[in-house]
Structure 1
Amino acid sequence: MIVIMRKYFITGLLILVPLAITLWVLNLIVSTMDQSLLLLPARWQPQVLFGFSIPGLGTILTLVIIFLTGLATQNFIGNKVVALWEGLLRRIPIFNTIYSSVKQVSDTLFSSSGNAFRKALLVQYPRHGSWTIAFQTGAPGGDVRNHLHGEYVSVYVPTTPNPTSGFFLMMPAADVIELDMSVDEALKYIVSMGVVTPEYFEKTHIIDPKKSSSDAL
């Protein structure tokens, strides 16, 4: 009887825990984005207009602001305004250092022409013979490049189950293996601590229809 109850309890956990975590993350995101309502004048606040708050309204406002900002910078005048604004921010002590670093990282990550987090890699870490999944973030630069002989790549090795923390390594290109795996699949593999394995297809088992038909002739 105890074994059966334990089985049902674990089954319930497997169903409800992912749902609860998903709802918690969504609630965190929505509540954070709802803070954009504070930008509105007091008389335009939902509590004043409707007499009650509307969850998610700030999220819509945030998305609209992001879209309009991107739209406004797609012309000559918008680019000039952004350039002047960034030039002003770079003149502010301390703020300049933080803003410039974050701006450079965001430009690298979200640029469609960049290679940051575009490839999932298999690397040996933390010692030879132990393998883990990493992401290619680019190539070493600056004076670091002068001290590295041969071809190197910059990789990010995330921790599990929290991939937002990890280690930055510069490894020989010959020591990394590029995986036939999307970044999303690799992240799921890492977050699940190896439980959720991506689909795998033996390349040697793939049959070319044209080749097989020619062999048959």
Structure 2
Amino acid sequence: MSSWKRDMASGLVVLVPIIVTIWVVYWLFRFIANLPLTETIANPALRVGITLAVFVLMVFAVGYLMRTAIGSLVEAGIDNAMNRLPGLRVVYNASKMAIETALTGTNELQTPVKLETWDGIRMTAFKTGRESPDGRKLLFLPTAPNITSGFVIEVEQEDIVETDENVEEALTRILSAGFGERNDEQVTGVPIDVIEERREETPDDRPATD
């Protein structure tokens, strides 16, 4: 990749997420400010503040209810009702899985490890901190890009390959279907075109080192 293309790509990687984030925040501000709940208040900032305060209070109230036996029954009833609606159940379950993963997923997942599932093929799994009755380690092997599905597998300790990754790095790779994997330039600091040239060299062509 030429230098100007690499510079352009690097700039877009930094700027596009910032622009998208600012646009989403602006859209949410306008949306909340125009809710009927506070339409009689002239100041938009005050309308947003009151709406957010009401929403936070509602979140805590529902959260407290969910910790009771009645709350569990209510949640189960809502899940059953939504799962009976074709089309909408996909949106409901996807949003519920996304928020559960964002709020609790990375806390529940422990150290990421590699596992050779087939000859020469390694997959990313996560330790659960549990063991099977015969002493094997229980791992969670997620699917990509949906990490809310996967397999719970029992593996001997010697078959687990430890890594120096953290949970966020491993999840980024899985959620992005591999496109979020760090490349050689990010890891080594050496430009990709230089690395590719070195890879194309045969052992005889490479300069001798002392």
Map 1:13-92 onto structure 2 (within 5 A). 13-25=9-21, 27-28=23-24, 31=27, 35=31, 40-41=36-37, 43-44=39-40, 49-50=42-43, 65-66=55-56, 69-70=59-60, 72=61, 78-79=64-65, 83-91=69-77
User: 1:3-47: CA deviations, max 9, x gaps?
Assistant: 9xx522431221223321343256447646875556652625xxx
CA 1:41–1:10: 2 relative to 1, 3 Å: same
Say which of 117, 131, 136 aligns to 1:151. Answer: 136
What's the offset of the Cα at 1:170? 2.9
1:157–1:167 CA contact under 8 A, matched in 2: yes
Map 1:1-217 onto structure 2 (within 5 A). 6-25=2-21, 27-28=23-24, 31=27, 35=31, 40-41=36-37, 43-44=39-40, 49-50=42-43, 65-66=55-56, 69-70=59-60, 72=61, 78-79=64-65, 83-91=69-77, 94-95=80-81, 106=100, 110=104, 116-125=108-117, 127-136=118-127, 151-159=136-144, 163-164=145-146, 168-174=150-156, 175-188=159-172, 191-195=179-183, 196-197=186-187
CA 1:37–1:124: 2 relative to 1, 3 Å: farther
Structure 1 residue runs without a partner (length 5+): 199-217
CA 1:197–1:31: 2 relative to 1, 3 Å: farther
Task: Name the SS for the 2:114 alignment partner.
Answer: strand
What's the offset of the Cα at 1:188? 4.8
What's the offset of the Cα at 1:152? 4.9
Structure 2 residue runs without a partner (length 5+): 84-88, 189-210
* Aligned-partner Cα distance in 2 for 1:152–1:176: 9
What's the offset of the Cα at 1:89? 4.2
* Aligned-partner Cα distance in 1 for 2:12–2:50: 28
* Aligned-partner Cα distance in 1 for 2:119–2:26: 43
Task: Name the SS for the 1:155 alignment partner.
Answer: strand
Q: TM-score, normalised by structure 1?
A: 0.49
Q: Quick one: percent identity of the two aligned structures?
A: 15
* Aligned-partner Cα distance in 2 for 1:197–1:16: 20
